Amino acid sequence: MTTDHAVDIDKHVRIYISVFVTLMVLTIVTVAISRFHLPIHLAVTVALIVAVIKGSLVACYFMHLISEKKLIYWVLGLTVAFFVVLLALPVLTHSDGFWIRY
Partner 1 sequence: MDIPYTVEARPDTGLTNGKIGIWLFLASEVMLFGALFASYILIRTGAQTWPRGDTILNVPLATFNTIVLITSSVTMVMAWASLMRNRFGTFRIYMGATVLLGGVFLVVKYFEYSHKFETGLFPSKNNFLAIYFTLTGLHMLHVIGGMAVNAYFLFPGSKLWKTNPQWFTNRVENSGLFWHFVDLVWIFLFPTLYLL
Partner 2 sequence: MSQAGAVAPGKAHGAHEAHHELGFWRSYVFSTDHKVIGIQYAVTGLLFLLFGFSLMMLMRWNLAYPGAALPMLGRILGDSRMPGGTMLPEFYNELGAMHGTIMVFLGVVPLAVGGFGNFVLPLQIGAPDMAFPKLNMLSYWSFFLGGVTMLLSFLVPGGGAQSGWTSYTPLSDIAGMGQTVWLFGMVFLITSSLLGAVNFITTTIQIRAKGLTFMRFPFFVWAQFVTAFLLLLAFPPLEAAAFMQLMDRLAGTSFFLPSGLVVSGQALTNAGGGNPLLWQHLFWFLAHPEVYVLILPAMGIVAEIIANNTRKPLFGYRSMVGSLVFLGFMSFIVWAHHMFMTGMGTAMATFFQTTTMIISIPSVVILTSLIISLWGGSIRYNTPMLFAVAFLPMFGIGGLTGLPLGLNAADIPLHDTYYVIAHFHYVVAPGTIFALFAGVYYWFPKATGRKMSEKLGVIHFIGSFICMNVVFMPMFLIGLAGVSRRLFDGGQGYAFAQPVLHLNVISSWGAWIMALFQIPFIFNFFWSIRHGEKVGDNPWEATTLEWAAPSPPPHGNFVVVPEAHRGPYEYSVPGAAKDFVPQYEV
Phi, psi for 27 (deg, rounded to 5): -65, -45
Residue 45 binds partner 1, judged by CB under 8 A: no
Residue 51 binds partner 1, judged by CB under 8 A: yes
Q: How far is the CA of 63 from the CAs of 8, 45, 57, 67, in angstroms?
A: 16, 25, 9, 9
Q: In whole angstroms, give the CA distance from residue 90 to residue 102.
A: 14
Chosen from partner 2, partner 1, none, partner binding at 66 (C-beta under 5 to 8 Å by type)? none
Q: In whole angstroms, give the CA distance from residue 46 to residue 29.
A: 10
Residue 71 binds partner 2, judged by CB under 8 A: yes
Which residues of the chain form contacts with partner 1 (CB under 8 A)?
Answer: 1-3, 5-6, 9, 12-13, 16-17, 19-20, 23-24, 27, 30-31, 34, 37, 40, 43-44, 47-48, 50-51, 54-55, 58-59, 62-63, 69, 71-72, 75-76, 78-80, 82-83, 86-87, 90-91, 94-95, 101-102
